[in-house]
Amino acid sequence: MSSSSYKIALALSLMAAPLLCALAAGGDQHRPVLTRLAKDPSTSLYTASVGNGGPGPQLVLDLAGSLVWTTCMPPYRLIPCGGSVSDRLRYTALLKNPKNTAYYIGVTGVAVNNVQVPLPPGALSLSARQGTGGGALSTATPYTALRSDIYRPVRDAFAEATSGFARAPATKPFDLCYQKSALPSTRIGLYTASIDLTLAGGQNWTIVGSSAVVEVSQDAACLAFVDMGTTATPAVDHSPAVIIGGHQMEDNLVVFDLEKWQFGYSGLLLGTMTRCGNFDFSMGSH
Ligand SMILES: *[C@@H]1O[C@H](CO)[C@@H](O)[C@H](O)[C@H]1NC(C)=O
């Protein structure tokens, strides 16, 4: 890509789920799509071919206009900037780690059910010199991964906040699981507890409902965060403190705005708009 000035909106949810189900043949878990883009010189449209081996549906990525992704099946529609979804977006500065190519955001604290999780001082900061720490964003990371010294206190706080729900045996890579039947089912998914990531600028990215847990079987759902120390190779080098993964971006609208160097996030859209099938991408004014 020759120009560094562009903006990408990923409506991962909306889109990702049905598509990924098809790709992850037989799999119960949604896996993020990581794909190569091609640019059509005559239209400036980016396209990506997605399929399970053979030729698949063509995704159109419009990075040239006022943007979009649509991973929905045809007919493709565009999400105009300024639509009602955009109104839900909150922004934080988008950061670059000088040591790698990943995008980062500043994470300044973590809270569970509105109670701050005690973390070692500086645990979350990005070291410009060494490139370590900080909050990276990676759709190639299936579940948000926390460095071990952050994961443990967050998991413990979450376990305490959810001590009233019957547990299920741990299922790798997760170590805090619940009997699904014990969890209240809501419009935003199975309800356990909320996790606030406080971002630079003071706003929270609240992870709740189906963003916080993942259903691993008919009977069990687990906290959808993993210990970076136990994952084979994190998708982002230089040991970030947090790697915000695909599961937590699903059913959110996220915007990588490289013009203003900001990252926009909508929070979980379930219950407000839902999925590919009935999501109105053409919303302009209403
Ligand atoms: C962010 O979350 C923390 C912890 O839950 C809370 O104390 C704080 O008021 C929240 N900030 C905003 C701007 O909502």
Q: Is the CB of 227 inside a 6 Å radius of any atom of ligand 1?
A: no
Q: What is the pLDDT of residue 201?
A: 94
Q: How far apart are CA 72 and CA 49, in angstroms?
A: 13
Q: What is the pLDDT of residue 39?
A: 53
- For every residue of 114-179, DSSP letters joined together read TEEPP--TTTT---TTT--SSEEE-TTSSSEEE-HHHHHHHHHHHHHHTTTSPEE---TT---EEE
Please give the distance, rounded to the nearest whole angstrom, from the Cα atom of residue 247 to the centre of ligand 1: 22
H or E element in which residue 199 lies: strand 195-199
Q: Which residues pair with 207 in a beta bridge?
A: 195
* 38 dihedral zone (left: phi>0; alpha: psi -120 to 50; beta): beta
Q: How far apart are CA 83 and CA 281, in angstroms?
A: 9
Q: Is the CB of 203 inside a 6 Å radius of any atom of ligand 1?
A: yes
Q: Please report, for the chain, the start and end positions of each structural domain, with discontinuous segments joined by +.
A: 57-278
Please give the distance, rounded to the nearest whole angstrom, from the Cα atom of residue 195 to the centre of ligand 1: 10
CATH architecture group of domain 57-278: Beta Barrel (2.40)
Provide the whole-model pTM: 0.73
pLDDT for 31 beyond 70: no
pLDDT for 204 beyond 80: yes
Look up tokens 């060494």; give the residue: 130
pLDDT for 240 beyond 90: yes
Please give the distance, rounded to the nearest whole angstrom, from the Cα atom of residue 112 to the centre of ligand 1: 10
